[in-house]
Each structure stands twice: as structure tokens, then as C-alpha cells.
Structure 1
Amino acid sequence: MKTRLLIAAGALLLSTAAAAETLWITNVNLVSPEQPGRVGPGSVLVRDGIIAAVERGPARAVPPGVRKVDGKGYYLTPGLIDSHVHLFGVPGMSFDHVKRHKGIVEAYYRQMPRSYLYYGYTTVIDLAVSDRAVIDNFNRAPLHPDVVHCGEPLVYANGYPMSWIAPVERFEMFGNFIYDPAQAAAIPKRFTPADHTPEAGVARVAKGGGKCVKTHYERGFGANRKLPVMSDRVFADVKSAAVKNGLVLVTHGNSFEAQSFAVRGNADVLAHGMWHWGPHNASKELPAEIRALLDQIVARRIGYQPTMQVLYGMLAYLNPAYLNDPAVRKVVPAALADWFATPEGKWFKEEVAEGESDADALLGFEAPLRRQKMVLAYLASKDANFTFGSDTPSSPTYGNLPGLNGYLEMRRLHQAGLSLEQVFRAATINNARTFRLDAEVGTIEKGKKANLLLMKMSPLQDLAAYDNIVTVWIGGKEVERASLAAGN
């Protein structure tokens, strides 16, 4: 035991020294989103985990007392930002599974921070904190992305996502709710309206260190589409409180109705694409009313998170080849990957298929995906403020795995019409600016945190660049990508 403690202490000292040493990263091509048209040779000086200088042009002599890092002519970019994650969720598992398979869950949580880094995500934003201990443990990992969070989600009493939990438990799990006087009989007596106003809920998020606040407009799913939703007046109070507390207002909404509501109420970020068009669902073209709403989103630079992997992540259960993809075992422990392949591990397929054959279930996804792609193509043509978010995991599906889910989302966005530059900006400077992190991350500039990626190819030329990362720096700490894979 004593020997192991000494080794661990030595490793900690070495990692601390590595983060604090001065580096000269040279012989690289700089790719930074504030100057996407200026890709060329350069060097970056890193001191105490911060970018101390950026020099463009041919490499010069190494400054004295500095360790040289030869970039071999590869491409240096800022670390990526995933602005929609749920660190608490274990992909593929229900709450009961989490309780029954504690060893697998612990192994997953140990690997999770490394998996985000494996695909270059050096900053993640948790939009809905369910258990602060998960974030604390994430931050204690030897290597992990920086975490920004929105605190506990601000939910409407008995609405989404409270509705997924039994009434006897939902107010314990979602304690930061807005009291609806019309539902007084359905809210436990121990809660008082004064403690659950929009102002009180937003203040709780700010007090807990949140940088944003997550709200929802969701009437329901399937046969249950009568969930309570907040009014314009209540949402206006939420917005006012968010501004007062300096928080970014994020709103879940995947329909024309929901996004109209959020835009009308001046939300800062729309979490999800628009795959439900309501009365326009049967339209084969983009309706004029939807184009008008999208034009507002573009003009007001509202952050737009398409989260296409929400749908494709569920389709993983209808794709026999998915679990055979070697990438799956790069981001989750072998024990969890093996469990996915068991009958118990495929439990969620019944939820996805809803009693239909695989072929019929696949057909059911075609219309919402078509609608979403049309919306994204239009927004891309207008150069909207895309803010990259993977929604990992969006549901208890094994189709949303940390890191890999983000890479797959990028591929879907490009296929839907976003240019390579738009994808790159969405995952760097757009996220940084929209979530007010641009003083620290998002570009390769002096004074920013040294969250950097060395890629074999330029992300402005080939989407495969994001799967060809060589080295990751997190706060100046250098790690080879291969060492971050599960099992290493």
C-alpha cells in the first residue's frame, strides 16, 4: 500500500510539473476560428497552462528554458466544446440497471472524462445537473475536460422531464421547479409557492455556480401530449431573472411551437433541432411560417443546437453493425460494451420500436429526420449561430457514447448542409461566445487557456481530422490521444 501511495504521489507531482512547464509548440499549421482563412505555419508559447504568445510564420529558435514540442507539420486547433452533455447518465442503462451493475458503472465513470478528451472535447457543458457528486468526481479525474454547468434544471411542476418520474419521487429528483398554482393539489404540501418562483429557481442555479439555466417547453410524446408548460408570462420572469444573475438561458424545444415560444421569450440557446412541425408536418417543403421563425433565429444570433444524434442514437438499436464498430470500445470499458450486447443490454430497443418491426420503426424516423435536415440546410445557408452540442446521452440509449457521440454529430451536421468551417466554429468560437467563455477558450490567442489539439489534417478540409487527433493539451498538460482510449 505504501509503495502504491508513493507511486501515485510521484505521478501527481509529474503531472503538476507537466502542466506548469513552459512549452514551445512549433512546426505546426495554426487553425483558429477567429481567422479561418489564415491557416499557416506558426508556433505557440504555453506558460503555466496559458497561451503566452502566438507567432505566425516560419519557426524560429526555441526560446531559452523552454521545452520544444515538434508538431511535425500537423494542424494545431483550439480544444473543442460540447455544450450539451449530461454527465450523470450512463448510456444504455435505466436507473435500475445502474443500481444492479455498480462495478460496470464505476468503470464507465472513470473512463468518461478520457473519452471526451479522446475526441478533442476539452470543455463540456452539463445542461442539467442531477447529482453534483458526479461532476465533483469528474473533476477529480487525473485527466478531464473543463466542466461548465447549468445547475439543476428549472422545470415546470409536473411537466417535462419531471413527467418521466413517478409522482411520489419526481419532486425529490427535480427540486428546482416552478410552482403552478393551478396544480396545487398535485404538488406536495411541503413546498410553498414563494420558494418556487422563477426568480427563486434561477437564483438557486446561480448560487450553485451555474453559468446557464436550462428550461423546457415540451407537451409530451406519443399518446401523452398534455403535459403542463409554462406561459409566456412565466417565461418572461425566467428570462428577467437570468439576465439579473448573468446566466445564459437555454430552452429545450424540438418543435415549431416550442421554438416559437422560446424565440418569443428571448431565449439565448435553443437546445435541439426542429423535427416536429405541428400542423406543417406533412409539408414536403419548408413552410413560410417556419422560414420566418428561422430568419428571426438567424438575425438575433440565437444559439442553435441541432442535436441530430438524439434520433440517430435511438436508431443504433435498429443497426446490427453499431456495436461492432471498433470506436465503441475506444470510449467505454469492455465490461459495458459486452453488457450492451446482452439481452438485458438491449432493453431499450422495445422503447424505440414501440412494438413495430425494425423496418417499420426505421420508417417512423424518416419524416422527423427529413424535417430536421431541411431546417438545418436553411439555417446553414443563412450562416446561423450554430452552437455544437451532442446531448450525451439524450436518453438511456447506447447510441450516445461520450466523445464518439460528438464526432458522429459532426458528421450528421455536415451531411445536413453545414460547411466544415461552420462545424468547426460551432464547436469552438460560437460555443465560447454564446456561453460567455470566450475570454478563456475557443480560439488560439494570447491569454486563453492552453486547451489545444494537434491533428494530422485540417478540420477545415476533412471531417476525418476530428478522428485523427495526435495530441491533446488540457490546461497545458500534454497527453497522447491513443493513451486516452478505454483499456489504456
Structure 2
Amino acid sequence: MKLLFACLFSTTLSLLSCLPAFASGAIWITNVKLVSPERLDRIERGSVLIEDGRIAAVERGARARKPAGATLVDGKGYFLTPGLIDSHVHLHAVPGMSAEQAAAQPLMQQQYFRQLPRSFLYYGFTTVIDLALADRGVIDRFNQAPLHPQVVHCGEPLVFANGYPMSFAAPKVRFETFNNFIYDPKQAASIPSQYRPEAHTPEAGVARVKRAGGICVKTHIEHGFGRERNLPMMGPAVFAQVRAAATDHGLVLVTHANSFKTQTAAVAAGADVLAHGMWHWGALDNEAELPAQIKTLLDDIAAKGIGYQPTMQVLYGLRAYFDPAYLNDPGVAKVVPKAMLAWFQSAEGKWFKEELAGDGEIDAVALKGMEAPLRRQAQVIAYLASKNANIVVATDTPSSPTFGNLPGLNGNLELRRMHAAGMSLAQVFKAATINNARTFKLDAQVATIEKGKNADLLLMRTSPLKDIAAYDSVVTLWVGGKQVARAQLAAGE
């Protein structure tokens, strides 16, 4: 009754937000401007018919007539787009909390996971890709929510023995925690005897991912950082075996690499996707302009169509601890429960800030240390954009125990960072839709407004080709054909 009263008497509430959350039967969305990434040359009025969770028909032109029996939705001349894709998330992790803190706050943790699928949807992300499956139960519960994005995953990450990210776990538990590892005969003395070499070859690891239902496999070329430097890392011969196994099993090969040196190695080894932008240039770090050597590598990345995940919001997410305005951003309250937001604002909730800063003047040291990597990253993205490279939207949410990487909001901020770095609005839109879908072989299901595709659609007041703020102007969503007003997805208690 309260919702009905509000719809009848509010002058500010959109008519569309008063539509029922779940429409039954066929839905005819009309009086909209169709914005689909494969036809950006034709932004025109049209109508879309949804049946059984899929797009049953697309009519372009103003004269299309509603099919008999379909529920009519008047789009008021707004812009209808496909749902967005975030191709780098970690659904098991609770942002801003250590594992111990999350375990000590079971109610808060439960509230967060209940809100999690709605937070992605609130900012228009109707498909997410979990690159490192750590807890299948998290995805199962995610999929049990009445309304949730489609989730696909890369299975357990394929890691090199005692390398990154195994090094984060204590030696006595790391092989149990990271069970899908590649055996290194040189480290036999440090690998528990119950793990047989033949069960931990690159082929065996990739096969495990395939059996688990993964569409991709994630591996790492990472020397380490901080106290964990010079970690064991797979060489070209081992990586070649991973590449061959991924090809044999039809999986997309995603490689964590964030420096000029490691991205050079990943490209040479045949990675399909580079997970992270190029924060580090090594010996070239002090160069003010983009060096010729790096341009040559980026030209190769663009020419080969390698999927490039800038993950620009990762470093900005760390800076959130030194930005007094961040937790007061209205977007934060939309994606996390009130109790968690209050905890973030407490002294206990800011524990990670001390770890980031170390000794000295916390704010000044931390912010200054991030300026150069952010500049280098933006220069790389601007160059790739100038070559019309295959850039894809990915957030690494949450990339670390920071409250600056929140689901949904992180994606919205990533879109803004990419545009500010030099990508055109059309490039950003494609990166969030068709580029991601093609790169991860999902384009037969999602990312365009075409007959037969999943009915994952966004109705925006503003065109995403005119203003980056359009991604915050969503009025209504259809998720697998189910209709929901965006306002109903915001976090509550």
C-alpha cells in the first residue's frame, strides 16, 4: 500500500519506477531509443519484445504495434541499452574487512552478501565474471537471490607453487588454500608430499577449471611486491603448456600482469586477457612521456585484439582511505547496508589505512606514492584508446581489503576513470558491453539488443554516448526478462 500511495501522489517519482518488480508474460517496451553497441550508427526509436527471459523481437521505427497480450511499458523516449559486464570480480571477499573481522561480524557479513547482487544491478551490471573461484557456495547463494546478475567464472586460479598469490597464505595452509597449483620440481622440498607432481601439471590444473564449469582460466606473471618480492614464477616453457591446455579445453586465458616486463612476457606467451593496467614501467618509471618501447608493446596488444583490463579503480580504491569525502558519497550508501557503512566510519573500520601508509605522515605519504602509477596507467590507456584496442571493463572488486572497492559503485567509477583517461564515450560503452562479451565468448547470449539474446536491459534517461553520467541515470532494469525499478535495488538496513 505504501508503494501504491507513493506512486499515486508523488509528483517526482517516475511512472516507470512504479511498475511491478516482476512482470508476468510477454513485455513490450516501446517509445525508446535503442543504443546497441553493434549498431552505434543507428540510434533510433524502436520497441523490444521480451518473452521467457529473452529478447523475442526488436522493431526499429516509431510505428511498431504492441503484440496482443503483451504488457506495455512506455519508455518515455529514454535510451534502452544492453546490461553492462564487469569481467573481474571476486564475489567471496567482503570489502573493507579482513577474514577475521568478517567472521567476527556474521550478521553484517550476511547483510552484505544479501545486498551484493543488488549492488551490481543498481549500477547496471547484469553480468559479472569471477576470475578466482574461492568458495562455490558464495556463487550458489548469489544465484539463489530473486534478482541477480548472470555469473560466470574462471574456476580456481591456476597458480605457481609458492608464488603469487599463494604467498599471501601461511606455508602450512597455502597448498590447501590454493589447491590448483602447478608443481615445481625445484621446490619439491617445500611442497607437502601428498601432492603428486602428475596431479599438478598445467594440463591437470586447466582440466580442473573446465570440470568446475569455468569459461576461463586465470594465471599470474607476478614477481611480488612489498615484503614478498622475488617470488617463484612460471617461465615461458610452463606458460606455453598452460596456453596449450587452455586452447585444448576452449578456455579464455587470463593473466595477471601489471608491469611493462610482465605484460611483455604475457603477450609473448599468448595470453587472451591482461588482468590489470600497466602501473609499473620498471627502469622507465621516471619517464614523463610514454616510452617508445612501451608503445611497441601496446601496438602489439592492439593488433592482436588482446583483452585489456585497465582496473583503474584499484589504486583509486586505496586512495579512498585518504579522501574524507568518500564515505559520504551517496553512491556508497546505495550499495552497502547501513550497519556496514557505520562500521567503515569507525576507527576499527579504518584499520587498513595504517597498513597502506606505514610510517610517517599517513595521508601525504600514501597519496604521493600513488600519483606516478596512476599517471602511467592513464597514459597507457590513452594510447591504447588511440589505437582502438580491445579494452574491457573490469574492476577487481574488491582488489584488497579496502572499502574503496565496493560492488557496482566500483564499476561506475571505473567507467568514469576510463573516460577521463582518454577513452571516448563510444569506446567506454563498447568496453562495458560487446568488447567484454566477445573477449569472454559470451556474445551469443548478452551485450547487444538482438533477437535471441538474454533480456538484460537498462533504461537510461541520458544516452551513454552523450554523457558519462548516463550510467547513473538508469530508471528501470530487465534482468533475464524480470523488470525492476532501480530505486528498489538500493541498500537498506
Q: Does the aligned pair in 2 maintain the 1:20–1:48 contact within 8 Å?
A: no
Q: Is the 8 A contact 1:43 1:59 kept in 2?
A: no
| Distance in structure 2 (CA, Å) of the matches to 1:60 and 1:471 | 22
**Of 479, 488, 491, the match for 1:486:** 491
User: One-letter code of the match for 2:475?
Assistant: V
Partner Cα separation in structure 2 for residue 253 and residue 49 of structure 1: 38
Q: Are residue 425 (structure 1) and residue 434 (structure 2) matched? A: no
| 1:235 matched residue in structure 2 | 239
Q: TM-score scaled by structure 2?
A: 0.95
| Contact kept in structure 1, 2:20 and 2:483, CA below 8 Å | no
Aligned residue among 384, 388, 408 for 1:383 = 388
Task: Return the match for 1:64 from 61, 64, 68.
Answer: 68
Residue from 165, 180, 191 that aligns with 1:187: 191
- Residue of 164, 167, 178 corresponding to 1:163: 167
Q: Which amino acid aligns with 1:336?
A: M
The reply to whether residue 463 of structure 1 matches residue 468 of structure 2 is yes
Letter aligned with residue 431 of structure 1: N
User: Are 1:28 and 2:32 an aligned pair?
Assistant: yes
1:253 aligns with 2:257: yes
Per the alignment, residue 13 of structure 2 pairs with none
Asked if the contact 2:167/2:228 (under 8 Å) is kept, the reply is no
Aligned equivalent of 1:10: none
After superposition, the C-alpha distances for 1:97-123 in whole angstroms (9 at most, x for unaligned) are 111111100000000000000000000
| C-alpha deviation, 1:324, in angstroms | 1.1
Q: Please tell me whether residue 262 in structure 1 is matched to residue 263 in structure 2.
A: no
What is the distance in 1 between the residues matched to 2:436 and 2:375?
Answer: 26
Matched, 1:209 2:213: yes
Cα deviation for residue 59 of structure 1 reads 3.9
Shift of 1:61: 2.6
Q: 303, 321, 324: which one pairs with 1:320? A: 324
Q: Is this contact kept in 1: 2:20–2:484, CA < 8 A?
A: no
**Matching residue's letter, 1:64:** A
Q: Which of 446, 451, 456 is the equivalent residue of 2:456?
A: 451
Aligned match of 1:410: 415
> 1:297 maps to what in 2?
301
1:436 partner amino acid: K
Distance in 2, matches of 1:267 and 1:377, equals 21
- Please name the residue that 1:122 is paired with: 126
Structure 1 residue 366 corresponds to structure 2 residue 371: yes
Residue of structure 2 in register with 1:54 after alignment: 58
| Residue 479 (structure 2) pairs with residue 474 (structure 1) | yes
Q: AA paired with 2:481? A: G
> What CA distance in whole angstroms lies between the structure 2 residues aligned with 1:83 and 1:206?
18
One-letter amino acid of the structure 1 residue matched with residue 86 of structure 2: D
Indicate if the aligned counterparts of 1:26 and 1:59 stay in contact, CA closer than 8 A. Answer: no
Distance 2:264 2:480 in 1: 39
Of the three residues 81, 92, 95, the one matched with 1:91 is 95
One-letter code of the match for 1:338? A
Contact 2:124–2:458 (CA under 8 A) maintained in structure 1: yes
Deviation, structure 1 residue 224: 3.1
Question: Aligned partners of 1:224 and 1:174: how far apart in 2?
Answer: 17
**Percent identity for Structure 1 against Structure 2:** 66
Measured against aligned partners, the alpha-carbon deviations of 1:274-324 in whole angstroms (never above 9, x if no partner) come to 010111111111111111100000000000000001100000001011111
Please, what is the CA RMSD of the aligned residues?
A: 1.3
Instruction: Give the gaps of 5 or more residues in structure 1.
Output: 1-14
Amino acid at match of 1:478: Q
2:181 and 2:339 mapped to 1: Cα distance?
A: 37
The residue that corresponds to 1:8 in the other structure is: none
Residue number among 14, 36, 41 corresponding to 1:37 in the alignment? 41
Q: Give yes or no for contact 1:20–1:476 (8 Å, CA) kept in 2.
A: no
Distance of 1:43 and 1:251 partners within structure 2? 40
